[in-house]
Amino acid sequence: MTFPALSRDKLHTEEAVEAHFAGQLVALQGWRERPHTAFDRKTALDPEMIEEFVRTTQPDAWKKLGEQYPGKTRETLARQVEARLKAVGTLEVLRKGITIVPGIKIALCAFKPSSGLNAKLVKAYEGNVLTVMRQVRYSMRSENALDTVLFVNGIPIVTMEFKNTLTGSTYQTAETQYRRDRAPNGEPLLSFKRGALVHFALDQDNVSMTTHLNNGQTRFLPFNRGREGGAGNPDVEGEFRIAYLYRDLPPRKAVFSREVLLGILQRFVLVDEVEQPDGRVKRMTIWPRYHQLDAVSALVADARLQGAGQNYLFQHSAGSGKSNTIAWAAHHLATLHDEEDRPVFDTVIIVTDRVVLDRQLQATVKSFSQTAGYVRAIDGTSRQLREAIQDGAKIIISTIHKFSTDQLSIIRNEEGKRFAIIIDEAHSSQSGKHADSMARVLAEGGLTEEEQEIDETERALLEMQRLRGPKANLSYLAFTATPKNVTMERFGRPGPDGPAPFHLYAMRQAIEEGFILDVLRNYQTYKSYARLERAIEEDPRLLERKSARKVARFIDFHETAMDQKAAVIVEHFRRHVLPELNGQAKAMVVTSSREHAIRTHRAIARYIEQHGYGDMRALVAFSGEVTVDGQDYTEVGINGIGEKELPRHFDGDVYNVLVVAEKYQTGFDQPKLVAMYIDRKLSGVQAVQTLARLNRTFPGKERTFILDFRNEISDIQEAFKPYYNVTHLEDVSDPNQVYNLHARLMAFGILQEDEIDRFVERFLHARQRADERPVLEGIVRQAVERFNDLLGEDDQEEFRQTLNSFLRFYSFICQVVNLQDTELEKLHVYGSWLKRILPTRQAPQGEDVTDDMLALAAFRLERQGEARDASLPADADAALGPIDRFGANPYTEEEQATLSEIIEAFNQRHGTNFTEDDYVRFEAVNTAIVDDETWAEMLRNNPPNDVRPRFDAEFMRRAIQAFQRDNAMRNAFMQDQEARDMLMTLMFQRAVRAAGEAA
């Protein structure tokens, strides 16, 4: 059949887009046209095409079917396909086929074999019938028609609704049409699992998709290529922007080409369990988003052509669906064959730096293969890992720490196996000692014939160095949203402008497409002003730098500062955050230390209790045990909840604030987080990763709130810039710097070459390392004695820093360049031992400032204007610096200063524009109220919520009276309602406490 030509008056309509789409599938991709009358509304099938596929690709089965059901062959086949679709769903029917009595096995789709050696499988794959049908009237209840339906062997896979921007409608109009007019209830074609697997809404510029029609609750996701780093699609000369769906645009084949579409059905689409907002688990079909499909396709094409030994850096933003992309990449690589039909990789290893393995990742990978032993999860001993590799498991999931043991030395790939190593969240940890160990385990081959001729010790050193360097049998795939400079150089692809990601799905595109929220859009900063005084008569001389830190800590942990910040946090949360998500909204408070977290949690809990706020409860998260005010605290002890149970309880209805110190600051995925209160300095990638806890989407979540007590907005924006678009380096590291560091170390006069040679010789040839340890340490301690005798404190610190820099940089550069220099390897082996034995830096001695030396004369927490939209512009960019900053600065003697000088310096830094009247005069008003016994009794004996309105009125009256001669102060107090509310909240809290203490 050929579609009729359109008249000129319809060229601007959606019908023209629809007709062009179908015509291009036929002309370019070999699809066949089918009339809408071929569609059976009752079964939602094209029975004639099912028959054709079975008859031509499985003649024996078709013959048996005809003999068993004479005169009703097609009818029986269609009826049984329909029954199985209802029972197990479209995806399983396509992948596993059906069986009809008496034991007639029938395939409904033939997927492309991983190898071309089996001609029968190749012929069956070529026999698949792809058909397109327009204006499909699908309903038994109405004449509703879908614009286009795509079928594979008579089974519907894709439905489409087209719109045209020239007539004022867009893909969003099509989305609305699906929500309002395409109810799935009672409609086989539209029903989840039983009907089409995916539904596309599109115009000539943009595409979106959904796998689950749910009336007004249907959620569509973009399915666009991306345009100049953001959302949308690029122009295509002479074509619609959506041409990638039906036209091959090198280097990619069309999405609806035979190869890509059937590949999606075979190796991408999966049915997964997704937890819903109400806590119920719902089964959902997952269809790859375009960037996921593109990333895996590009990887497969490159790996097939290049073979093993390549590096791949995937810079994929949060919200990119990384777990599924990794699973799909692993599955494709595990079955990948080269042009000569040889497996490209023997084993794919997925490595995570999290001790607790990602269960979702395991489940996703396992869902693609039912073959026993195909996927092995290593969550126990290193022996499991060794056995999995030796047993030939195709995909292994492990932690990088499992590679860090001598037990694995027996698998040093004497048989020339090839590995693809997928690194989940690539950080600098994958460029250090763990990565060294992993490479040593998996690297193939040995020394060259020339190298075999040299001294045995030299050979061993070259072998150790070679095992750190690039290896022809290992391909690395690193996934991260925030690549550091080390990650870029280690895994990035060399290019004219330096190393670059192999594939990019930028933060900007993820935000513009709505996969994540822009957390910088609603950013509020606060500034604290403080004035200190001496609380002791004497004025001791102290170590200035060390004491300044203690002074800052005194302010941070002072009850007044804690109370004011707690008041801001609680009142802001209740006023702005709690109403979000129908009361399900959560908040995170980020603190600078474990003690800070405990004190902050204590202040928030105290404020909540004093004000009777039954709608708020806070949890605290930190590691280990901490002593505060002489008492030991643990997370479990404070919360009364098991550590592993905390995420589940925080997700529930009881708790809505989580105070953290490092723990949960990165890697914690709680989509109900709507607000973050930051009380620590943040910079660089840490700032991005911390604030990224807020960016997850959730039904009804349209905005976020950030209140920052420590950082400037401009500094946070600078931290985000390198990762907003594609990350790049301003320059690559100079590998020759390793020789500069080597020379600087030797220049101290502490290291002697003969001792290094003697140590390395014994180390390499030691059979029983435990027996050799005293001897080895004895050699190294000779350098330690010179370190203690010859170097002053400044030079000792410079030596430590230079040694650390050499060890780190050498470990990194060895993985990028084959150095072929045994002198460097010797120093690395020796220096690693020396570092462990060197005495640690001693803390400066002398009297130190203590809390009883200080008094807080005044403190004010001031809001810095209104909340700002700090979103980055589309072209925001900042390059990362190369690895060229090596610590070698001496630790200088801290200057002495009096306590008064230290306090004055603090006041100058932190008391800008501050006067004591800003706080002390309000405190005087408060004191007068508490001194009134009538008010004291009222505060002591009544619930806070009952007495608070009367207190506010009294405080207002007295404050206005106190400032009757100060118009500026009175006007500021009267006009700034939010500041006034915060101040009176704090004063009320202090009044209640003072009244109670006076009782």
CA atoms within 13 A on the CB side of 593: 9
Tens of pLDDT along 837-876? 998 876 555 557 777 787 877 777 888 888 999 999 999 9
**The pLDDT value given to residue 768:** 54
**The pLDDT value given to residue 909:** 62
Runs of H (alpha helix) within 89-143: 90-96, 119-126
| Tokens of residue 251, six digits | 């280097």
* Of 411, 409, 362, 405, the residue nearest 390 (C-alpha): 411
Contacts of 746 (CB under 8 A, 6+ apart): none
pLDDT over 60 at 266, yes or no: yes
pLDDT over 50 at 453, yes or no: no
Is pLDDT larger for residue 381 or for residue 127?
127
What CATH number does the domain located at 519-730+848-910 have? 3.40.50.300
**The pLDDT value given to residue 321:** 87
**The pLDDT value given to residue 496:** 86
**Longest Cα–Cα distance in the chain:** 111
Contact 523, 870 (CB under 8 A): yes
Contact 654, 683 (CB under 8 A): no
d(CA 552, CA 802): 30
Is pLDDT larger for residue 948 or for residue 997?
948
d(CA 90, CA 76): 18
Q: 């008010």: which residue's tokens?
A: 935
pLDDT over 70 at 408, yes or no: no
> Phi/psi at 890 (nearest 5 deg)?
-70, 155
Q: What band does 365 get if pLDDT is binned at 50, 70 and 90?
A: low
pLDDT over 60 at 358, yes or no: no
Contact 239, 10 (CB under 8 A): no
Backbone conformation region of residue 474, classed left if phi is above 0, alpha if psi is from -120 to 50, else beta: beta
**Can you give the three-state secondary structure of 455-502, one letter per residue?**
CHHHHHHHHHHHHHCCCCCEEEEEEECCCCHHHHHHHCECCCCCCECC
d(CA 188, CA 207): 24
Is pLDDT larger for residue 960 or for residue 68?
68
Q: What band does 316 get if pLDDT is binned at 50, 70 and 90?
A: very high
Please, what is the average pLDDT of the chain?
85
**The pLDDT value given to residue 371:** 65
Q: In what order do the strands lie in the sheet with 347-352?
A: 375-377, 395-399, 347-352, 419-424, 474-480, 311-316, 503-505
d(CA 49, CA 149): 14
Is pLDDT larger for residue 533 or for residue 124?
124
Tens of pLDDT along 66-109? 999 999 999 999 999 999 999 999 999 999 999 999 999 999 99
* % of the chain surpassing 90 pLDDT: 54
> Phi/psi at 76 (nearest 5 deg)?
-65, -45
pLDDT over 50 at 430, yes or no: no
d(CA 55, CA 452): 64
Classify 863 as helix, strand or coil. Answer: strand
969-973-975-976 Cα dihedral, nearest 10 degrees: 120
d(CA 805, CA 812): 11
Contact 461, 760 (CB under 8 A): yes
Beta strands in 263-319 (DSSP E): 270-275, 281-286, 311-316
pLDDT over 60 at 552, yes or no: yes
pTM summary value: 0.84
pLDDT over 80 at 355, yes or no: no
d(CA 104, CA 97): 11
**The pLDDT value given to residue 950:** 86
d(CA 767, CA 890): 40
Q: What band does 701 get if pLDDT is binned at 50, 70 and 90?
A: very high
Q: 């002697």: which residue's tokens?
A: 752
**The pLDDT value given to residue 547:** 77
Contact 544, 895 (CB under 8 A): yes
Classify 872 as helix, strand or coil. Answer: coil
**The pLDDT value given to residue 782:** 95
* Of 739, 242, 319, 267, the residue nearest 506 (C-alpha): 319
Among the ranges given (349-358, 442-451, 794-803), the one the predictor scored with the smallest mean pLDDT: 442-451
Contact 680, 716 (CB under 8 A): no
Tell me the fold of 288-505: Rossmann fold (3.40.50)
* 857, containing H or E segment: strand 854-863
Q: What angle do CA 606, 608, 612 make, to 5 degrees?
A: 120
- Alpha carbon of 478 to those of 196, 268, 492, 693: distances in Å? 34, 20, 9, 21
Contact 291, 207 (CB under 8 A): no
Contact 222, 287 (CB under 8 A): no
**The pLDDT value given to residue 459:** 61
* Residues linked to residue 33 through DSSP beta bridges, in sequence order: 132
Among the ranges given (86-100, 300-314, 360-374, 622-636), the one the predictor scored with the smallest mean pLDDT: 360-374
Q: Write the DSSP assignment of 576-631 as a string of letters.
A: IITTGGGGT-EEEEEESSHHHHHHHHHHHHHHHHHTT-TT--EEEE-SSEEEETTE
Tens of pLDDT along 33-70? 999 999 999 999 999 999 999 999 999 999 999 999 99
> Phi/psi at 745 (nearest 5 deg)?
-65, -45
Is pLDDT larger for residue 170 or for residue 439?
170
Contact 337, 115 (CB under 8 A): yes
**The pLDDT value given to residue 247:** 97
| Tokens of residue 737, six digits | 């710097």
728-731-736-740 Cα dihedral, nearest 10 degrees: -110
**The pLDDT value given to residue 202:** 97
